[in-house]
Amino acid sequence: MMNFQGSHILSVSQLDREAIARILQVAGQMAPYALREKRCHVLDGAILNNLFFEPSTRTRVSFGAAFNLLGGFVRETVGEENSSLSKGESLFDTAQVISGYSDVIAMRHPKMHSVAEFAEGSTVPVINGGDGANEHPTQALLDLFTIQSEMAPYQKGLDNLHITLMGDLKHGRTVHSLSKLLSLYNNVKVTMISPNALQMPDNVISTLSNAGHEIVVTDKIEGNLACDVIYQTRIQQERFASKDEADLYRGHFSLNKEIYQQYCKEHTVIMHPLPRDSRPEANELDTDLNELDNLAIFRQAQNGVLVRMALFALTLGVDEKLTQYEKPVTWFTNKQARK
Chain contacts with ligand NCD (rule: CB under 6 A): 58-59, 130, 136, 139, 173-174, 234, 236, 273-274
Question: How distant is the alpha carbon of residue 57 from its chain centre?
Answer: 12
- Residue 19 near residue 1, CB atoms below 8 Å: yes
Residue 244 neighbours by CB distance under 10 Å: 8
Kindly state the smallest distance separating residue 246's Cβ from ligand NCD, in Å: 12
Kindly state the smallest distance separating residue 247's Cβ from ligand NCD, in Å: 16
Kindly state the smallest distance separating residue 77's Cβ from ligand NCD, in Å: 17
Side-chain-side CA neighbours of residue 3 (13 Å): 2
Name the residue nearer to ligand NCD (CB basis): 136 or 213: 136
Name the residue nearer to ligand NCD (CB basis): 36 or 58: 58
Rounded CA gap, 279 and 250, in Å? 10
Name the residue nearer to ligand NCD (CB basis): 56 or 99: 56
Looking only at the bridges linking them, the beta strands covering 104-109 and 47-52 are parallel
DSSP code per residue over 290-326: GG-TTB-HHHHHHHHHHHHHHHHHHHTT-TT-GGGGE
**Buried b / exposed e across 42-73, counting CB within 10 Å, b at 16+?**
bbeebbbbbbbbbebebbbbbbbebbebbbbb
- Residue 108 near residue 146, CB atoms below 8 Å: no
Kindly state the smallest distance separating residue 324's Cβ from ligand NCD, in Å: 32
Rounded CA gap, 282 and 305, in Å? 28
Name the residue nearer to ligand NCD (CB basis): 16 or 281: 281
Name the residue nearer to ligand NCD (CB basis): 13 or 123: 13
Name the residue nearer to ligand NCD (CB basis): 103 or 150: 150
